[in-house]
Chains A and B, each alone.
Chain A
């Protein structure tokens, strides 16, 4: 993976920068020792590593503002970091950069049940936002599978989704306001507890900008009352086509489940071997969850079962109680662990139109043969967000490269059928060079114009999102 050459002029000024940052930060907020900065050398995409020049761990918006102002004046790149769980290398440092970690900013600032909002510092973890409102039976809806660890800051940067976004939407649909620090240290307030910030939808473009437009330090999030209950049904089919048609029919019938998860045969086999959830061995499994009161759940499940029966399922298992529900989810929830036990794996994230599902799965199967690498598919079928998991051996020379080439083919396939490269993980460095496959240069240029406005010196989170070639002139001019 090509990264920009570190600027020697910046590296020689490390001591000067340390002096300036020390003047505005408490002693424990600045990390300069090389043994300690190594902790920030990678994120969830651990194949790529590079320790930063320095790391800072501020506790307040004012400290973030001071850090950014100084780095701006000194012309030093800054890589914002939430919890470092990005699967796309969104928080990968460059050797001449300062890692700005928001993990210590994890306070709940305001909980307002009457207006159904919570205001938190951005380093707070996703699950602990829900935890903070649980006693009143509220929750924060976006639920990325890393929710135990991932921070709201990263969720906003990547516009994270989750299994339940078919009903509740992704981060951008649940974010009402932010306090954000611009690269020059200016603190801006956008939106708030009211709906739809006035003026241009700056909040909309900040969400999903992968930390390249500003550092979000506080966020106002929409919270919702928990449903009375939820229950899944498990349906097995003898072909991916039929399972795909069933998903389409359910949606067309007006049932809107909170989640429709899809697993193919290799995934079912791996999960079954790992978790022993009692899954039937078949070509495709759907796990469909609905919410409401007991009677509402029963009614929706009966509609789903009726539709499924028309497609001759090989297995149909309704959860009668919480235990059975947990068993149905057990295999799916251990999918990543199950794959990890078999070998190293790479998790992709392309999205496709639901109707293209069978054709895309078939082609992935063919590619798997061509590349000689196994792949298992588990994904959010309701919204077409695929997660092919390609198995490879990191210790075998050339395997990672083969795996990446295979992955790129799958993502191109997603684009070819009318989908996109990434549904919820973000571009980061991982999919940077495929951007020109999805977008024409003029489309990318429009995105670069936005970056020019927010960060004219191109210092925030360098080398992410866009192909290096597309940004070279801007980076060297700034």
Chain B
């Protein structure tokens, strides 16, 4: 029982307050016992706050099961990512999807959690090779808007038993249910990492260079371009002899596009790309735009932005833009399909433009139908996704 918490916090305190359940059962009770909208909070570092009583997952923390030989980890959703990473590193393993740490970019504190990473499908530079966060999520337990505890998936790598609600929960930003536990696939930390840099002035040439690298047999795990430094970065990972070999071969592939230099492992460089640290402290809205790489060449010049960073071989555009500018309108003008998320912006801009790309009417109807059924009272991060 959650004895310490009043049944209807809003009335007693006359303002919104925080619910901090200690375990899944209390989480379910908290949702059953509330009739006010909830702002679901993992570490609160990713900027997806909504109006409502804060429901914090900080109490649901801890490792449930770790089997390094099966590459699987089961953790409670509120477990800090730092704790997960430390445990994995002790066995020479890691979360391969490189979840962004958004604290620098958004200028906030807090402690990023594993549940937050999956709820937002936070995927870093390795997305192009190893997949997104959702591709590593094997199973979930969550509490839906009616306070029911639901499980889906499991802790094995291959599982097609029934509908895949695991994927549906990844990236649902808590609007279909509150994650209480996640099972994920982890991978070994490679023995060696190398980064090649290519000096390229033109975006179109940069995208061609990245396409050439990604279309090579050399298993590139990062392909990014920063127009301000004029450098394309290409990452390879693996056993040391393998990395040395592929680096040499990629130099041959990339030489046609510009001067190539080797950067060593350069973990800071890739962390900076993952976290878009170049926009830290710079004024303006920050957008995250997913397009097919060749469309980046068409779209980028039309964005009229103060800063750009390209990841995923050009397919992910990070844009720093004048406050209140609607970059989705520019995508439409350019005839480019994909989606743009307003990651950083004032409350007014978020309200005016919406954080997520509006969907085509039939898809919006499906999404609305899912939200209504999983959260019929409209309590979970209401309005965040539509």
Please list the residues of chain A having a beta carbon within 8 angstroms of any beta carbon in chain B: 112-117, 137-138, 158-159, 161, 165-166, 169-170, 172-173, 182, 186, 188-190, 192-205, 207-209, 225-228, 247-249, 251-256, 292-293, 295-296, 299-300, 303, 351-355, 380, 382-385, 418-427, 431, 435, 438-440, 442-444, 446-447, 449-454, 465-466
A205/B150 contact (C-beta < 8 A), A196-B123, A254-B189, A299-B239 known: no
- Complex Cα distance, B158 from A165, in Å, reads 9
Whether B271 sits at the interface, judged by CB under 8 Å, is no
Q: Contact at A446–B360, with CB atoms within 8 Å?
A: no
Q: Is the CB of A300 within 8 A of B239?
A: yes
Q: Known interface pairs A248-B70, A446-B150. Does A195 touch B245 (Cβ–Cβ under 8 Å)?
A: no
Q: How far is the CA of A115 from the CA of B313 in the complex (A)?
A: 9
Q: Report Cα–Cα, A460/B80, bound state, in Å.
A: 42
14 contacts between A and B (CB under 8 A): A199-B364, A200-B168, A201-B134, A201-B172, A227-B217, A256-B188, A295-B241, A355-B67, A385-B156, A420-B156, A439-B161, A446-B144, A446-B152, A450-B165
B3 at the interface (CB under 8 A from A): no
Q: A117-B292, A225-B215, A353-B155 are in contact. Are A186 and B363 (CB under 8 A)?
A: no
Q: Judge if B298 is at the interface, Cβ distance under 8 Å.
A: no
Are A442 and B370 neighbours in the complex by a CB distance under 8 Å?
no
Number of residue pairs across A and B with beta carbons under 8 Å? 266
- Cβ-based interface call for B127 (8 A): yes
Residues of chain A lying within 8 A (CB to CB) of residue B191: 254
C-alpha gap A234/B385 in the complex (Å): 51
Interface residue? B362 (CB, 8 A):
yes
- A35 → B minimal CB distance (Å): 35
Q: A200-B176, A440-B151, A443-B150 are in contact. Are A113 and B165 (CB under 8 A)?
A: no
Which residues of B lie under 8 Å from residue A173 when comparing CB positions? 131, 135
Q: Is B39 an interface residue (CB 8 A)?
A: no
B305: Cβ under 8 A from any A Cβ? no
Query: A195, B290: Cβ atoms under 8 Å?
Result: yes
In the complex, what residues of A have CB within 8 A of residue B247's CB? none
Contact yes or no, A453 B165, CB < 8 A:
no
Q: Which residues of B contact A355 (CB under 8 A)?
A: 67, 69-70
Q: In the complex, which residues of chain B have a beta carbon less than 8 angstroms from the beta carbon of A195?
A: 127-128, 132, 290, 312, 315-316
Given contacts A173-B131, A201-B171, A225-B217, contact A189 B360 (CB under 8 A): yes
Provided the pairs A295-B241, A450-B370 are in contact, do residues A204 and B170 lie with their beta carbons within 8 angstroms? yes
Contact B151 A351 (CB under 8 A): no
Contact A352 B150 (CB under 8 A): no
By a beta-carbon cutoff of 8 Å, the part of chain B in contact with chain A is 67-72, 91-92, 121, 123, 127-128, 131-132, 134-135, 144, 148-152, 154-168, 170-172, 175-176, 187-191, 208, 211, 214-217, 219, 239, 241-242, 245, 290-295, 312, 315-316, 337-339, 341, 356-357, 359-360, 362-364, 366-367, 369-370, 373-374, 385-386
Q: How far is the CA of A194 from the CA of B211 in the complex (A)?
A: 14
Q: How far is the CA of A454 from the CA of B385 in the complex (A)?
A: 19
In the bound complex, CA of A126 to CA of B139 (Å): 27
Residue of A nearest to B364 (CB): A199
**Alpha-carbon distance between A186 and B171 when the two chains are bound, in angstroms:** 25
Please indicate which of the listed interface residues A169, A203, A204 has the most CB atoms of chain B within 10 Å of its own CB: A204
Assuming A198-B357, A204-B134, A446-B152, is B337 touching A192 (CB within 8 A)? yes
- Cross-chain contact of A446 among B158, B189, B245, B374 (Cβ < 8 A): B374
* Chain B residue with Cβ nearest A248: B69
Residues of B within 8 A of A186 (CB): 362
The answer to whether A194 and B216 touch (CB under 8 A), given A353-B72, A423-B160, A465-B162, is no
**Which residue of the partner chain, among B131, B134, B241, B292, contacts A192 with CB atoms under 8 Å?**
B292
Tell me the smallest distance from the CB of A245 to a CB of chain B, in Å.
Answer: 8
Which of A251, A295, A450 contacts B163 (CB under 8 A)? A450
Contact B148 A115, beta carbon cutoff 8 Å: no
Residues of A within 8 A of B159 (CB): 351, 420, 422-423
